[in-house]
Amino acid sequence: MHYNMMLAPMEGVTHPAFREIAVSMGGLDVVCTEFVRVSRAPLNESLLRRAVVRLPDTPLSVQVMGNDADKMAEAARHVSKAGADIVDINLGCPMPRVVRKGVGAAMLKDRALLFRVLRAMRANTSTTLSAKIRAGYDTADDALKIAQTVQDAGVDFITVHPRRRCDLYQGVADWRIIRAIKQHVRIPVVGNGDVWYAKDALRMVEETGCDAVMIGRPAMRNPWIFRQAAELKAGRRPFRPSAEDLLAHLDRVRTRYEHLFASRKHGATGPFKELVRWIARATPPRLEFASHALRARTTRDMMNVAQRCLRPLGPEELDLDAYGTLALERSGQVANSPPPAVSVS
């Protein structure tokens, strides 16, 4: 495993424009697509063309989701042929519309089915195959067995988001489960969940022994997090963004999104709002930047609000430094909680 930092797959977020901007900020080794749903119908060309958009120098992981072994095997082959560097299977999506269909996190409940699907995919592609799991469905009791099943099926590496399906995004990801899985399997383990600050990426490696770190929501909130983690790892002083840097980033995203979503009824407003909502979490709560910005009707109005609210701020007022000095978010600290159900040494 020669990757260190990975951008997590996020539906509606990690489209090609987001991936391109994320990579341009530095420090990122792999990007992931949003999941591609594999149902009865074969994957069609136009879907594949939209999903498998590679950047010149950054490996692309394409995530598929489904529970039909034959269709998933076929999908693994198609996606590999279309240029994916990694084929990833979604075993963690907790959304009711997904688990109702028996896919995503629902696959964690049936290890025999899981094994069959993964085995069929393995037999049909020599491209690197990975699986992204949660700690379990209703309990984390079987986390090690699930990881073992993934390994036994011949998957090359496993990504662990240590929340159960029933947690959705509540509480704090329990990194002790990543450590327990790392100690249990031979394949590389990628840790994921609540790495809000660059220093926490290094801490996750230290505390869990994981081979790489995957970051999702925190990369929407702080697009420099990968760069900062790489700088910390190299012993260099990490970049500390100013309000000007943040505004320039927002404006760049706005321009790219306007282009990408030009044909949508409401254009780029929705996707841009989603990003602004995350970035607002790094700004002083007293400003109520989110509530002001999210009331705006157009991306241009949102930018005007951002200019007004954020321009006067000094870097020390933004929760975007590598160390989390302002600590508006919480990483990997499951305060006063009992040990997880899986054995942790």
Ligand X SMILES: Cc1cc2nc3c(=O)[nH]c(=O)nc-3n(C[C@H](O)[C@H](O)[C@H](O)COP(=O)(O)O)c2cc1C
Binding site for ligand X (CB under 6 A): 8-13, 34-35, 63, 90, 92-93, 132, 161, 192-195, 215-218
Paired tokens of 80 = 């590999």
Residue among 74 and 194 whose Cβ is closer to ligand X? 194
Point out the residue whose Cβ comes nearest to ligand X. Answer: 216
Dihedrals phi, psi of 131, to nearest 5 degrees: -130, 135
Question: Taking Cα atoms as reference points, which of 159, 142, 171 lies closest to residue 87?
Answer: 159
| Phi, psi for residue 141 in degrees, rounded to 5 | -55, -35
Least distance to ligand X, CB of residue 159, Å: 8
Reference 146, options 156, 154, 155, 136; nearest CA is: 136
> Pick from 109, 119, 180, 124: which is nearest to 151 by CA?
119
Instruction: Report the nearest approach of ligand X to the CB of residue 32 (Å).
Output: 7
Q: How far apart are CA 62 and CA 59, in angstroms?
A: 10
Catalytic residue among 32, 93, 210, 309: 93
Rounded to a whole number of angstroms, the minimum distance from the CB of residue 84 to ligand X is 15
Instruction: Output 8 or 306, the one with its CB closest to ligand X.
Output: 8
By the 8 A CB rule, do 48 and 24 touch?
Answer: no
**Contact in structure between 243 and 315 (CB atoms under 8 Å):** yes
The nearer residue to ligand X, 142 or 194, going by C-beta atoms, is 194
309 tagged catalytic: no
Nearer to ligand X by C-beta: 156 or 317?
156
Q: What residues are annotated to the active site?
A: 93
